[in-house]
Structure 1
């Protein structure tokens, strides 16, 4: 044991004995660590440089400056080499500083190599694993390197941090003043004014089970069973997202309701032929030509998005939850209809089996598998490929599930992302 590890450990043992016990059990020897020299030195972990190698303090000051100076508590996600902690404490910025460990093995290694006593012993500091909290805390700064290096136990919090950091970037295409948005809302106004209100469906399936069907690759495992269930006289209601409609129809499975929200969805995704018995639930950004061609009943709703703010003032329609993906309003529709149990199919938020979607070619509905650079844990606790926006959608669905404890949520597959708050439907899950 190094001298620095003994000194750091003495403070940790005194202040946070449970954290210290967990750190002692971490396997820091498995990290691919190397020293990187510049004007100063830093560590590179698995090819990712932990801090600046030229002026760590200047970098830390820049990072610390993003935090407000009047908050009672500041949150730092990631431990780094202790630079940001020291800057925040020395400058008096932090009345209280909560440090959240994102990679226990990495922090254990840093404790062995460098002195961290100055900030660990500061009475304003609290220390814990990020995974000990169910939700991220504001205001925060997340060390960029450790958003990439977060370990499995802290992956869910990492995903929510990344989503929060990217929120302005993600919302850039939903500026309610954008010409294409204004044009589409004007084009769809006549339909929005005359079609059924989605609120007419609310409460119509009290206490029932509803299947919500996405387009993730795992859906292909369930076509046969879904076809059998669909043929039963007494069965759950089938709600599917727009891109799942064509693959389901091709398998002889007709959903009861299709949900669509995206202005890019075309007749290619929602062929109107033989749709007379299928209800279509849509938001006003949907393509009016697709809506007009639909043979079944149409129901329109809004989302809380600023895109619909003015329209909501002109017309009263039911509101469905938003979370970035069509799966969110589809799930919310099931809940608002009164479902006691919701089973999710093809809601993978990942690329299991190295596929992007069920019933579509790789890359037809978004980024191909080869561009997947991120990961989430699947239902077996193993890493599975994904992308950033899928991780964001996953986090929003988990928040929704947590906010609706009166509904039981089930996942039909273990091969996609593990969804917190769901159990596995043993009749389907593999």
Structure 2
């Protein structure tokens, strides 16, 4: 090891002995690192520069300037080459700086190459692994390079950071002033006014077990078992998301309730034939033509979105939780109906088995498998490909589960993303 590492290690071992012991087990990364020259220099890991190669300090000052001025506590995710912590510690208002490691091997490499004592030894600094915390802290700055290079242990926090950073962008299509939004709400106003309040379903199934069925590829493993369970008396309640409805019916499985929220859901997803005894729970952005054709009872609710603010003043309806995906209100409905045990089917948030969805062709419900550029850890601790918004949906479901400790949540498959807060239902998981 270098002199730099010895000096850095002495500080870390003295201040954070348990972290140092863990850090010492990190694999070497020298072979993957490359020195990149510009007006200055930086390190590149797998083609991703840790910092600017021209002016690292100026870059760090720009990053620091994006934080709320006068912050007494700041969280930095990713260690980089130590530039951002150094700049932040110049601030007179800063009382505590938490530095969260996103890739332990990269941090070890930095410790071997550069003297980091100027910030490691500052009493205001707390050093920790990001993955040791269940949730992100604010205010924060996350180093872009290490959001891409986060290791497996810190991946869950990486996903939460990305979800938070992209929140405004993801909500752009739900502008209450959008002509498309305004028109859709006007078109659905009549149905919203006359259809039943979703609150009428609340507390109607106290203590009943509920299966919430989504459309991930792992659902295909369970069609036969679900069909058999559907014939049992008594049995769990089946709540299906809209895109799972058609493949369920094709396999002889009739859900008890269908939930739909997306304005792009059409007749190919929700064919109205033979739906007379199936309630449909929806949000007002749903296609009114599809709603009107549904033969069963209809129940309408809102989300907390400002999109429904004006409509809420005219027509009072209960609220369901929405975090970007239809699975969120489906799960929330199950909880509000009184479920104490919920098993998730097809809740993969990923593309296991080289498929995007159960019962649909590649690309039918979104980007094709070939466009997947991201990953999550599956139930076996292995990486499985996914897309960025799926990781955000996963984060929001995990937050919801954490907020409802009175309910037991189970996952029916290890093939999809590992969902924090769930255990595996041994009736379905081999």
Offset from partner CA, 1:93-116 (integer Å, 9 cap, x none): 522111000011110111001110
Paired with 2:15 and 2:156, the residues of 1 have a C-alpha distance of 26
1:379 and 2:409 are equivalent in the alignment: no
SS at match of 1:90: coil
1:418 is matched with: 418
Paired with 1:281 and 1:320, the residues of 2 have a C-alpha distance of 10
Relative to structure 1, is the Cα distance of residues 321 and 30 closer, same or farther in structure 2, using a 3 angstrom cutoff? Answer: farther
Runs of 4+ in 1 over 6 A off after TM superposition: none
2:169 is matched with: 169
Paired with 1:81 and 1:29, the residues of 2 have a C-alpha distance of 14
Unaligned residue ranges in structure 1 (runs of 5+) = none
SS at match of 2:375: strand
1:97 and 2:97 are equivalent in the alignment: yes
SS at match of 1:325: coil
SS at match of 1:35: strand
SS at match of 2:258: strand
- Where do 1:327-346 residues align within 5 Å? 327-346=327-346
Contact 1:31 1:105 (8 Å CA) reproduced: no
Worse overlay, 210-219 or 93-102: 93-102
- Where do 1:130-279 residues align within 5 Å? 130-279=130-279
Contact 1:119 1:125 (8 Å CA) reproduced: yes
Return the TM-score normalized by structure 2. Answer: 0.99
1:326 and 2:326 are equivalent in the alignment: yes
Relative to structure 1, is the Cα distance of residues 30 and 222 closer, same or farther in structure 2, using a 3 angstrom cutoff? Answer: farther
Offset from partner CA, 1:25-80 (integer Å, 9 cap, x none): 10024761111111211111122111111111111111111011222200000000
SS at match of 2:89: helix
SS at match of 1:28: coil
1:126 is matched with: 126
SS at match of 1:308: helix
SS at match of 2:239: strand
Contact 1:31 1:46 (8 Å CA) reproduced: no
Residue 238 of structure 1 and its aligned partner are, at CA, apart by 0.3
Contact 2:72 2:93 (8 Å CA) reproduced: no
Offset from partner CA, 1:329-377 (integer Å, 9 cap, x none): 0000000000000000000000001100000000100011111000000
Offset from partner CA, 1:154-179 (integer Å, 9 cap, x none): 00000000000011100111011111
Return the TM-score normalized by structure 1. Answer: 0.99
Relative to structure 1, is the Cα distance of residues 31 and 393 closer, same or farther in structure 2, using a 3 angstrom cutoff? Answer: farther
Contact 2:217 2:356 (8 Å CA) reproduced: yes
Residue 184 of structure 1 and its aligned partner are, at CA, apart by 0.7
Contact 2:218 2:415 (8 Å CA) reproduced: yes
Residue 92 of structure 1 and its aligned partner are, at CA, apart by 3.2
Paired with 1:307 and 1:168, the residues of 2 have a C-alpha distance of 14
CA RMSD of aligned residues (A): 0.9
Contact 1:12 1:20 (8 Å CA) reproduced: yes
Paired with 1:93 and 1:269, the residues of 2 have a C-alpha distance of 55
Residue 196 of structure 1 and its aligned partner are, at CA, apart by 1.0
Unaligned residue ranges in structure 2 (runs of 5+) = none
- Where do 1:51-90 residues align within 5 Å? 51-90=51-90
SS at match of 1:126: strand
Relative to structure 1, is the Cα distance of residues 117 and 30 closer, same or farther in structure 2, using a 3 angstrom cutoff? Answer: closer
Paired with 2:326 and 2:94, the residues of 1 have a C-alpha distance of 40
Residue 395 of structure 1 and its aligned partner are, at CA, apart by 0.2
Contact 2:348 2:417 (8 Å CA) reproduced: yes
Contact 1:69 1:94 (8 Å CA) reproduced: no
Contact 1:42 1:51 (8 Å CA) reproduced: yes
Offset from partner CA, 1:202-236 (integer Å, 9 cap, x none): 00010110000000000000000000001112110
Contact 1:303 1:322 (8 Å CA) reproduced: yes
Contact 1:265 1:286 (8 Å CA) reproduced: yes
Contact 1:43 1:49 (8 Å CA) reproduced: yes
SS at match of 1:97: strand
Paired with 1:354 and 1:146, the residues of 2 have a C-alpha distance of 27
Residue 18 of structure 1 and its aligned partner are, at CA, apart by 1.0
